[in-house]
């Protein structure tokens, strides 16, 4: 397995609309819409930067993982995602290297991606996402 590139950086925010003004008006990034991922209780805003993306993540539920993250850590970087060619092979590779996986089976993510998370206890307290997107 080889990480092909940084696919995106996920940033947990309390209010997408409020936060978007910084990324659009101050940094000049182009907003490419939002998507709600019901399974993850999150609304995602997409802001491409070169060949990667910033994903702003707003919880749609007080019980969602983003709400819990913000409660514990405040707003900020929640995860970094790496693009992989084959998510199933990437998961197998991680497990073979002794990594603890949150997802041993891929699940649906924003933008139509198949994703899996590596547990932060295995990756020096960084939540790492593996992402396979059809282009």
The residue segments making up the domain with residue 91 are 5-132
Q: What is the maximum alpha-carbon separation in the chain?
A: 45
Q: What confidence score (pLDDT) does residue 134 get? A: 79
Q: How many CB atoms lie within 10 A of CB 74?
A: 9
What is the Cα–Cα distance from 99 to 90, expressed in whole angstroms? 11
Per-residue pLDDT of 10-39, as tens digits, reads 999 999 999 999 999 999 999 999 999 999
Per-residue pLDDT of 31-61, as tens digits, reads 999 999 999 999 999 999 999 999 999 999 9
Domain count of the chain?
1
What is the Cα–Cα distance from 30 to 24, expressed in whole angstroms? 6
Task: Check whether 135 has a pLDDT greater than 90.
Answer: no
Q: Record the pTM.
A: 0.93
- 78 exposure class (CB count in 10 Å sphere: 0-12, 13-18, 19+): buried
Domain containing 15 — which CATH number?
Answer: 3.10.180.10
Q: What percent of the chain has pLDDT over 90?
A: 96
């Amino acid at each position: 397995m080889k990480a092909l590139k940084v696919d995106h950086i996920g940033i947990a925010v309390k209010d997408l609309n409020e936060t978007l003004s910084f990324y659009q008006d101050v940094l000049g990034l182009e907003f490419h819409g939002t998507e709600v991922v019901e399974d993850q209780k999150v609304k995602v805003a997409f802001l491409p930067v070169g060949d990667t993306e910033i994903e702003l993540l707003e919880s749609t539920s007080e019980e969602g993982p983003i709400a819990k993250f913000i409660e514990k850590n405040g707003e900020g970087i929640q995860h970094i995602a790496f693009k992989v060619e084959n998510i199933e092979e990437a998961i197998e590779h991680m497990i073979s290297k002794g990594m603890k996986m949150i997802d041993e089976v891929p699940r649906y993510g924003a933008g139509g991606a198949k994703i899996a998370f590596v547990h932060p206890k295995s990756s020096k307290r960084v939540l790492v996402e593996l992402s396979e997107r059809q282009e």
